[in-house]
Amino acid sequence: MATVIPDQKRVGMVSLGCPKALVDSERILTKLRADGYAMSPDYEGADVVLVNTCGFLDSAKEESLAAIGEAIAENGRVIVTGCMGNEAELIRAKFPAVLAVTGAHQYEAVVEAVHEAAPPSQGPYIDLVPQPDIKLTPRHYSYLKISEGCNHACSFCIIPSLRGKLASRRIDAVLREAEKLVAAGTRELLVISQDTSAYGVDVRHEERTWKDHPVRTHMTDLARELGQLRTPEGDTPWVRLHYVYPYPHVDAVIPLMAEGLLTPYLDIPFQHASPSVLKAMKRPANEAKVLERLKSWRAICPDIAVRSSFVVGFPGETEADFQYLLDWLDEAQLDRVGAFRFEPVAGASANDLPGAVPEEVKEERYGRIMAKTEAISAAKLAAKVGQTIKVIIDEVGEPDEDGDRGATGRSQADAPEIDGAVYLREVPDTLKPGDFVEVQIEDADAHDLFGVIA
């Protein structure tokens, strides 16, 4: 018989920004459900609406303010949290009706604000069986956040002021969470943080006991242990490392990829290649001989896919600096690339640098870098035509008028939401999201692959 909670309060959630913020949203909702709240999929049915904001760029702030305004117009009872929470005065000045404002990953403060706005109904029939954590991603993939904050002082970034200094989670707690997720149906773990390579630096890489043996709070130990996980069906789940700074110890995870324990994929935010721009950005590891290391990684693990992002139009960036970046990309042959036009962020030291690049020059350089990386991607994907590759299924479509059914999946070179896809034709009715299948690639464009189950 279904549990009935008298006058059960309902919470709505609008989650903006990066996967790290999405994990915060999941944790907040999981705690609220444990306190007796139900979740509302729309404004109308919610007793209170949470807006988890992003405050990294001015464009993200505008999106956050628009979402707060919409929630107030549609519901009226709104609590704001997340990275823009440190601008409480601005939010309250624009939206005086907001009930509370809290900062990034301040879970207790958010929950307390919800309790005040819509006191929980602790009826006598609360289910004593603990429910699984709330997930805001599909069942078959999950983000695994290993730390909060960042110790770097990059001149264009205000993350340390939004989320604080590096604070690593206990490695045994991280591994326990990963094990639970895989047991519950996760087939792809996406390891995230502000700086995955720095995991454990703040606790001097302390040792903990896991499965009767010691493990260090360190990226390489974490990667090795995650590679031992198996799904209930006996498969090795994909484990993808994001936000990896190219410190020397990153070399140690490449053999794990070659052995099939880690997904052969690295997300490294290079941001630029010109030494003078990197120096102005105050980027860590800017002296790393990246091109040589890329070569050695590919020698160890030929299937490795490297994704990165770059900023164009940074203050002081000359045409020579930009051309240096384009030439570097020709040599680096990265698999997946995103680019951003430089945007001044309130509080970032880069705003005071001389040599502001005009908007039209930023736009022209953005067009050139995207054309360059698109051509590299198209050539790399064209080389996969005729190959058979492993794909994870994200979505299965409805049959068309001929009864044929298509599906969308991703290869090991594709992270969800940010990279390309593999589009399948004529898939069997039994196929479902989360399935691993071998796919013969028949065609490619600049970003995606097309094929049929082998």
| 283 touches 312 (CB < 8 A) | no
Yes or no: say if 159 and 214 are a contact pair by the CB < 8 Å rule: no
The pLDDT of residue 132 is 59
Q: Look at the block and give the residue holding tokens 């988890």.
A: 52
Residues in the chain, overall count:
454
The DSSP element (H or E) to which 337 belongs, if any, is strand 336-341
434 to each of 140, 141, 182, 190, 355, how far by Cα in Å? 5, 8, 12, 14, 49
Q: Tell me, what's the pLDDT at 289?
A: 85
Using left for φ > 0, alpha for ψ between -120 and 50, and beta otherwise, residue 344 falls in beta
Distance CA 164, CA 217 (A): 19
**Using CA atoms, how far apart are residues 258 and 300, in angstroms rounded to an integer?**
7
Residue 295 three-state SS: helix
Report pLDDT for 285. Answer: 52
CA atoms in the 13 A half-sphere facing the CB of 317:
28
Q: Based on the number of CB atoms within 10 Å of its own CB, is 319 exposed (0-12), middle (13-18) or buried (19 or more)? A: exposed
Question: Cα–Cα distance between 148 and 169 in angstroms, integer?
Answer: 8
| pLDDT at res. 1 | 43
Structure-block tokens of residue 193: 């943080």
pLDDT score, position 391: 96
First to last CA, the chain: 45
- Residues 294, 308 contacting (CB under 8 angstroms): no
Report the distance separating Cα 366 and Cα 339, nearest Å: 7
Sorted by sequence, the CB contacts under 8 Å of residue 453 that are 6+ apart come out as 424, 427, 428, 431, 437, 438, 439, 440
Cβ-contact 64, 84 below 8 angstroms: yes
Question: Mind listing the pLDDT tens digit of every residue in the chain (454 residues)?
Answer: 445 555 788 999 998 888 878 888 888 888 888 888 888 988 988 999 999 998 777 778 889 999 999 999 999 899 999 888 878 888 999 999 999 998 876 778 888 889 988 888 765 444 444 555 666 777 899 999 999 888 777 777 767 777 778 999 999 999 999 999 999 889 999 999 989 999 999 999 999 999 999 999 999 999 999 999 999 888 899 999 999 988 889 999 999 999 999 999 999 999 999 999 999 988 865 555 889 999 999 999 999 999 999 999 999 999 999 999 999 999 999 999 999 999 887 777 777 788 889 999 999 999 999 999 999 999 999 999 999 999 999 999 888 888 888 999 999 999 998 899 999 999 998 999 999 999 999 999 999 999 999 8
Q: Pairing mode, if any, of strands 213-216 and 207-210?
A: antiparallel
Residue 32 neighbours by CB under 8 Å, 6+ apart: 11, 111, 114
Instruction: Please check whether residue 243 is in contact with residue 265, taking contact to mean a CB–CB distance below 8 angstroms.
Output: no
DSSP code string of 39-67: E-SSSTT-SEEEEEE--SSHHHHHHHHHH
CA 319 vs. chain centroid, Å, equals 32
Sketch out the chain's domains with CATH numbers.
10-117 (3.40.50.12160), 141-380 (3.80.30.20), 388-453 (2.40.50.140)
Tell me which residue of 401, 387, 412 sits closest to 264, measured CA to CA. 412
- Residues 76 and 47 sit within 8 Å (Cβ to Cβ): no
What confidence score (pLDDT) does residue 288 get? 55
| CB distance 398 to 405 below 8 Å | yes
Q: Measured between alpha carbons, how far is residue 341 from residues 126, 150, 345 in Å?
A: 51, 23, 12
CA proximity to 158, closest of 350, 348, 340, 20: 348
Closest C-alpha among 200, 205, 204, 144 to residue 168: 200
Main-chain phi, psi angles of 14, to 5 degrees: -115, 115
Alpha carbon separation from 144 to 89, 241, 360 (Å, rounded): 32, 10, 39
Single out the residue of 248, 50, 14 nearest to residue 136, CA to CA: 14
Give pLDDT, residue 2: 47
